[in-house]
Structure 1
């Protein structure tokens, strides 16, 4: 108001425009009365003095809400400022004409009255008579140089020189304060702190609108905050208990939104209805696809009328255009109107088609230089993509659901949204027949992806799409590993394993590559290596399969890096994959290849080089915002730093990974907790180490995620040994040995069984007063003999091995130890495990 003669407060209904204008007017009146019209410049720049001088002749507030005829606007203002006799609101055109005949033109009378004064005129609720209000204001500002106008409206007046001040919804802390104040008035003793989560949900879902929050607070006389929050899906029936002293349209939430709806024309209502099918807002292209190509002008009008919120892209969110969204209250109202219109099916179909195409055409960009932009696009539109999937499922449109799911499958993998992927896949799988039903039917080779073209799909492509969704579901195995271990599930996995043949093109790229998990889960590790070898060969022979070649090389490197004698081959594969990914501009693949190379270097004992690879991989992952991937890499870095002698930094990184954990599936936690447990045990902090293992088991139980039990059992057994509980350690190590005999566990950690035998030897040497020391030496000999060729032991392995030998030599003496140790070298791992 200090810099403009016309200020318009705009915002949605219930935002508090009227209250703010009244507070401003009263504050100016109080300040003016205290100012006395002389001196008193408290800001040093004349601003306060100048503003108060502009209201020296007073403030007049004009309520335009009751004016139902635009022609009555000037007369209402005349009455409010006291420029002539009062005319009753609602007198109609006849009354207005009669008043004009008695007192002359009201605009002239206003101009004459205000022209000699310096005053503030507040015009409240202009939206339903906005044209008439705008004409009057423009005339008065031209003819009355000392007049300042403060207007409130749900849309701008559009007068030259108008300064718009949006009255936006309250931010959460202020909204909660309002709820606390009004709630305590409605129910003495009410405190937001008693249920902060429900109170925050109420304020958030009511968009921070003061009117809606006050109506909700009134309900606290009979409902708890949680009951109110749980009923906000039916907010228009819930929020109906407003003050009897306010205008009727402010006594219920529906009446307030009805007021705005009644001011719209048919085209605006049609667009607003259709916009309600979006979730999380939309850009202009999406709005045109769902609402029609001529939506631009209508959108602008709805933005002006505070029914659509237009926002520029957030910093770092990508995108180059405005986004449009409805406040939740407006969206619910418009959705009801959409149902009434009978247009929902068409609007949802247009929404589904648009977002299916967005996902389908964005998916290939996840594998190249536009990867970051593609991720940003899918993240911005993710709520709409979920909504499109729900539309497809509700319509039981299997082909649309298949196309959408497969288009998102790689994004889910990159973002580690495995629980989300698992749940969507399960729902889509239920729409069609089981493509892996017995009897086993080998499938033909297909060179097309199922998302190369939108629905309708050919029968052959449709069948492969169904298989792809089933494989994508299986790829989330680590979120429900127990379910895959039942006899029924194992039988199904064997059917899946028999469907494809090594080298088929569709299993060279996701989701076909996930087929390898079936082989892994049934322990067919020999076949698995052959499958990956054949996939690499197919990719080398197929033009345009560069990304697929890098993907399979990187996968093979991960498998090979589990054994020291294969680490050289793993290194070569990782290097080649890294070169391809870098050439293609795939940062996610680059990080994965660096990780594979680091693991191979770890296995060769090149820990400093491994640490450098992990650090570079972390930089790529962080650049992409791949937080889950970065956390896993950080855990691996922390573990390898313990090997290089940077113990303090390594421990700090591991603890940071653990402390940053969120909720749900946390792939970095197993490694971080296990690495930290080993280090804590080595440094005598066994109580802290046991806390880590207890937390590990509890987290896996809560998140339905199962790590290979052999890792945890081995760590628990080692802590028992360190604490001197040798008898208890033997029982734990027996369980660990049974688990480590699993083909999958052996493939992931070929040296694990030898490590458990070494731990068993340490415990055996200490029980029964040393009477089992001979068996301990034999176990130690068997453990050393069963290690993969060229195995490079890590720091903890070396410490366990040294302790086992010292204990056993002390109990037996050197000659007896050497004899028993040699005997153990001729035992199989199974025979040595039997000794334990």
Structure 2
């Protein structure tokens, strides 16, 4: 949760939903606890805070009642714990705005002391933004705390003003300083800052007048003179001193992000590096970053080179920026010589902005300056390096998601005050490649568009983002102008390759460029495009920003056929892009078919990574083929199906698979039966409402003789539609001689025998499957055997062996980055830990499993993890939280064949919760519902769980023993050390003779599943 006490008490859940803690007394109580969040607050302190020094009789009991009511209000989001001497709000300190404010203020002050004024200003602004009004208004008697926070707020404001002054601020700070002085007329620090701000703004007389005002106020109020520091500042201003204004453009907006780049630039300059060049694509914010970095230094000269058309003008532009003028009697001299003479003995940081269009001439000038003027350092911005010895490059890439979204929100609030985070903002920033200029232009459109309207129009980004700041140079007013500025710097060969590279989605390897783009030996042209910031290169992959890609595609005839946003309909006639797109699709079809067998063997990891890197290209190729060549589209979907399954992204392809099925028709093309069945499996939504589609694919598979070329059909079919419907002989024929497929069938048989209550036989199948997968080297297969084998060991009471097996399985699934299998193993491991009594560690595993399942779009797996959280909470005594988890898990269960078991366990959890709270009638009602549903499950395991639950509420020890025996019979064995079952069995044994217990237990073992459901 998030709590606010810097203003009216504000309580919000993690998703931003406000929560009302109640009337004045609960609000005061919560405010007291929040002042020491995470730490004990004594009962005496709470009573005094609520009732004052003269507390009424019964105040302690009243406090307990208030605590109870407040607990109910905050549950399940926050917890108030009773401790030895009082109470503690179990919330991290940084969830309270006052504590976050204090930490940010301390960090800002430390940055100010270290001379990092930009970071100081950023941190202090963030701290001050937390204030929404006077602190603790819901706690009127907390004068000491209120005064302390107010003083800290004033100190933070003054520190932030100090940082702004150091960064070249001046006149814009005057109104704020005058307002602060009106509230704090005895603050000498504020008087000094106001004097400096006025002097920096060219108002020295007013600055001196402020000193006189300070002197009179201090004398009248305190009978004291100004401090020596304020008097020294006054004397300096009288003498015409004061710090020299830096020659840097004043920025009108807040600087957001780029902390790591700022730190790197500062470190390089501090280490004596004399030439630092900021490189990156147009609109990345190189100029703004250079200004912010230069603002940390004294003696700065900023030179804008973009308006120049001739490199010979560069020395003169620098002289002009330095304020060096030719006099009437000055002999004519070469401008370069005059520049060298002017800077020969000076200490100066020279900022040369936009060098790319005059890069050779800029490089010559900089080389001369560095060789002749030892006190000069150069900070340059360019879309390509100057290539001078000693040059250090600082790439300025697009902003990562978090700072990009902060920038968007900051600029959006400037045009739409009060604008809050919106679900479409991350997508907008991603679509704009994190380019600051594009983000700022997009945010400005919120004057007239909603976030949804803005996001939906970004396909036409160059038209949409065509209104910029009129005060800026034309090349920075629109997104198109920014990209055109770079495009015009490319030669014809570079432009042609750039156009062809738009066929790729998500980047390309050199091999792919060479094979598809029809340009032999493209290395040099690619290198040139990288140097000019038109391409990014990383780990051997060349990537074009989507904004640049959209621009380059406009120059390619038939551009609507290019890229991820391509029109899926076939073009009316041949276009020059058609051969390019066909070559692209053919290349990635060959890649997918080459990868397929490796995804089931020892080369699994390398090929998974390779396909993951090409996922955008593979998807684009599939979209292209889907409406032009359905046979090849099916051929591509076939091998991709297992890749999607391993990486947990198969759910995202439902719409694509359905669209392809619509193109293919009701029958598979000859020779593509397997690919057709996989397409059907991919098209299933998991809601169970596609019986005709399932029947169609089942008929194809039933008639197919095998052996399978793509044997993972067996597991994908089982997961999507339920246990294998055909005979075991047919399954073996489909598997053929493939060791991998035979191991897979053993896994299926293991689960079948497990469901049928034959655990020893199931363990043999899983062990044989594990041996087979170890031979193939398939990590996925091994992990899927180690999970049930771990549970087999756990059922025997060997928890340590179970954890060893599960940890080995987790090592494989994490290598594979397979979210579904990792979630499964984490849930199993959590169950083992929970049965060992470690509910805290178990809950952490369940939380991680739930996050993985949700991220992969697997509601049933998320429901199972949430149900596990309910079990952990219930076993640790928190029945209220357990009930919430079980109810939420029930809502998340999807309507498919394997949701039955999970729904049964949720119902049993609710029943056990009611029993723990003493409501046996409610517990029995839940257990009966579970029993009615359990008969619909794939086996008898759900009925076994139900029988054990019913035993906990049995009316007699004999009946409890019968039900426990029935559970053992249905499951084919016992689960040792089950914390829900062990106490029930111990109680029944204690109330029966050994002979009577065994007789009842054996009677239960012989019961049929129908009899259990009736009970």
TM-score category, normalised to shorter length = 0.7 to 0.9
Quote the Cα distance in structure 1 between the aligned partners of 2:352 and 2:841: 65
Matched with 1:795 is 978
Compared CA separation, residues 164 and 703, structure 1 to 2 (3 A)? farther
Q: Aligned with 2:663: secondary structure? A: coil
Matched with 1:769 is none
Deviates more, 1:226-235 or 1:691-700: 226-235
Quote the Cα distance in structure 1 between the aligned partners of 2:321 and 2:632: 61
C-alpha distance after superposition, 1:746-784 (max 9, x if no partner): 43xx24335545656776849xxxxxx99x799859947
Matched with 1:129 is 358
1:626 to 808, 818, 839: 818
Q: Is the 8 A contact 2:686 2:895 kept in 1?
A: no
Quote the Cα distance in structure 2 between the aligned partners of 1:822 and 1:167: 75
Matched with 2:672 is 462
Quote the Cα distance in structure 1 between the aligned partners of 2:1010 and 2:349: 95
Q: Is 1:482 aligned to 2:692, yes or no?
A: no
Q: Is the 8 A contact 2:467 2:478 kept in 1?
A: yes
Q: Is the 8 A contact 1:677 1:689 kept in 2?
A: yes
Compared CA separation, residues 665 and 144, structure 1 to 2 (3 A)? same
Quote the Cα distance in structure 1 between the aligned partners of 2:407 and 2:865: 44
1:401 to 633, 638, 656: 633
Matched with 1:414 is 646
Q: Is 1:15 aligned to 2:289, yes or no?
A: no
Deviates more, 1:666-675 or 1:324-333: 666-675
Q: Aligned with 1:795: secondary structure? A: coil
Matched with 1:700 is 893
Matched with 2:383 is 154
Q: Is the 8 A contact 2:849 2:862 kept in 1?
A: yes
2:712 to 491, 506, 510: 510
Compared CA separation, residues 571 and 380, structure 1 to 2 (3 A)? same
TM-score normalised by length of structure 1: 0.73
Q: Is the 8 A contact 1:567 1:601 kept in 2?
A: no
Compared CA separation, residues 307 and 422, structure 1 to 2 (3 A)? same
Quote the Cα distance in structure 2 between the aligned partners of 1:226 and 1:737: 47
Quote the Cα distance in structure 1 between the aligned partners of 2:965 and 2:362: 95
Which ranges of structure 2 fall in alignment gaps of 5 or more residues? 1-268, 560-574
Compared CA separation, residues 531 and 642, structure 1 to 2 (3 A)? farther
Q: Is 1:240 aligned to 2:466, yes or no?
A: yes
Q: Shift in Å at residue 557 of structure 1?
A: 2.1
> Taking CA–CA contacts closer than 8 Å with sequence separation of 6 or more, which of the two structures ends up with the larger relative contact order?
1
Q: Shift in Å at residue 173 of structure 1?
A: 5.9
Q: Is the 8 A contact 1:733 1:760 kept in 2?
A: yes
Q: Is the 8 A contact 2:790 2:802 kept in 1?
A: yes
Matched with 2:596 is 363
Matched with 1:349 is 582
2:487 to 244, 249, 261: 261
Quote the Cα distance in structure 2 between the aligned partners of 1:506 and 1:796: 45
Q: Is the 8 A contact 1:493 1:519 kept in 2?
A: no
The residue correspondences of 1:670-689 to structure 2 (distance < 5 A) are 670-675=863-868, 677=870, 686-689=879-882
Quote the Cα distance in structure 1 between the aligned partners of 2:431 and 2:941: 54
Deviates more, 1:113-122 or 1:285-294: 113-122
C-alpha distance after superposition, 1:306-358 (max 9, x if no partner): 221223x4xxxxxxx3x322233222222333356754433333332232222
Q: Is 1:294 aligned to 2:496, yes or no?
A: no
Q: Shift in Å at residue 369 of structure 1?
A: 2.2
1:739 to 919, 928, 933: 933
Compared CA separation, residues 368 and 104, structure 1 to 2 (3 A)? same
Which ranges of structure 1 fall in alignment gaps of 5 or more residues? 33-54, 87-101, 314-320, 437-458, 767-772
Quote the Cα distance in structure 1 between the aligned partners of 2:544 and 2:399: 16
Matched with 1:595 is 787
Q: Aligned with 2:381: secondary structure? A: strand
C-alpha distance after superposition, 1:159-198 (max 9, x if no partner): 44444343444556655565566555545xx256x22555
Compared CA separation, residues 706 and 261, structure 1 to 2 (3 A)? same
C-alpha distance after superposition, 1:336-383 (max 9, x if no partner): 333567544333333322322222222222222222222222222223
Compared CA separation, residues 293 and 79, structure 1 to 2 (3 A)? same
Q: Shift in Å at residue 602 of structure 1?
A: 4.8
Q: Is the 8 A contact 2:850 2:863 kept in 1?
A: no
C-alpha distance after superposition, 1:506-535 (max 9, x if no partner): 1882125545568846x95xx555555x35
C-alpha distance after superposition, 1:522-575 (max 9, x if no partner): x95xx555555x359x65xx3xx22222222233223223344x3333223322
The residue correspondences of 1:142-291 to structure 2 (distance < 5 A) are 149-170=378-399, 175=404, 179=408, 182-183=411-412, 185-186=414-415, 190-191=417-418, 194-195=420-421, 197-291=423-517
Q: Shift in Å at residue 615 of structure 1?
A: 2.9
Q: Shift in Å at residue 218 of structure 1?
A: 3.5
Quote the Cα distance in structure 2 between the aligned partners of 1:286 and 1:746: 48
Q: Aligned with 2:667: secondary structure? A: coil
C-alpha distance after superposition, 1:615-651 (max 9, x if no partner): 3322332333334322211211222344456666546
Q: Aligned with 1:385: secondary structure? A: helix
Quote the Cα distance in structure 2 between the aligned partners of 1:227 and 1:130: 41
Q: Is the 8 A contact 1:352 1:392 kept in 2?
A: yes
Compared CA separation, residues 803 and 303, structure 1 to 2 (3 A)? same
Matched with 1:752 is 942
TM-score normalised by length of structure 2: 0.62
Quote the Cα distance in structure 2 between the aligned partners of 1:753 and 1:675: 19
Q: Is the 8 A contact 2:846 2:866 kept in 1?
A: yes
Q: Shift in Å at residue 219 of structure 1?
A: 3.0
Compared CA separation, residues 782 and 531, structure 1 to 2 (3 A)? farther
Compared CA separation, residues 818 and 256, structure 1 to 2 (3 A)? closer
Q: Aligned with 1:480: secondary structure? A: coil
Q: Aligned with 1:483: secondary structure? A: coil
Compared CA separation, residues 587 and 64, structure 1 to 2 (3 A)? same
1:372 to 600, 605, 608: 605
Q: Aligned with 1:307: secondary structure? A: coil
1:547 to 718, 740, 763: 740
Q: Shift in Å at residue 694 of structure 1?
A: 0.3
Quote the Cα distance in structure 2 between the aligned partners of 1:202 and 1:178: 12
Deviates more, 1:697-706 or 1:371-380: 697-706
